[in-house]
Amino acid sequence: MNICILDGTKMLDRDEAHQYIARVMHFPDYYGHNLDALYDCLGEYDETTTIIILNSEELLANLGEYGQRLLETLQQAAEEPYSFHLIINH
């Protein structure tokens, strides 16, 4: 099992958030750096993965409404029969 830890303190704006997510989660070069692309790439995982979000309150403080939409995208994808689990730590 693979574990990806995403730290909300490292997501200071949209661009940095997507660059950070792509790097930590080893997304392909064609990752589109937006929420639709995030959802799509999550569905491409072959290996069972646990995604842990640390400091989600910081993420929301930094990104505002976009941060909320990012978390919702992760939660929606986790409800699909994809190969990952989501843990959000506040």
Architecture per CATH, 2-88: 2-Layer Sandwich (3.30)
> Is 90 in contact with 57 (CB distance < 8 Å)?
yes
Residue 81, helix vs strand vs coil: coil
pLDDT at 45: 79
Closest CA to 40 of 68, 74, 6, 2: 74
Q: Are strands 84-88 and 49-54 parallel, antiparallel or unpaired?
A: parallel
Residue 60: φ, ψ to 5° = -65, -40
DSSP string, 13-68: SHHHHHHHHHHHTT--TT--SSHHHHHHHHTT--S-EEEEEE-HHHHHHHHTHHHH
pLDDT tens for each residue of the chain, 90 residues long: 789 999 999 999 999 999 999 999 999 999 999 999 999 999 887 788 899 999 999 999 999 999 999 999 999 999 888 778 999 997
Residue extents of the structural domains in the chain = 2-88
Could you tell me the pTM of the whole model? 0.92
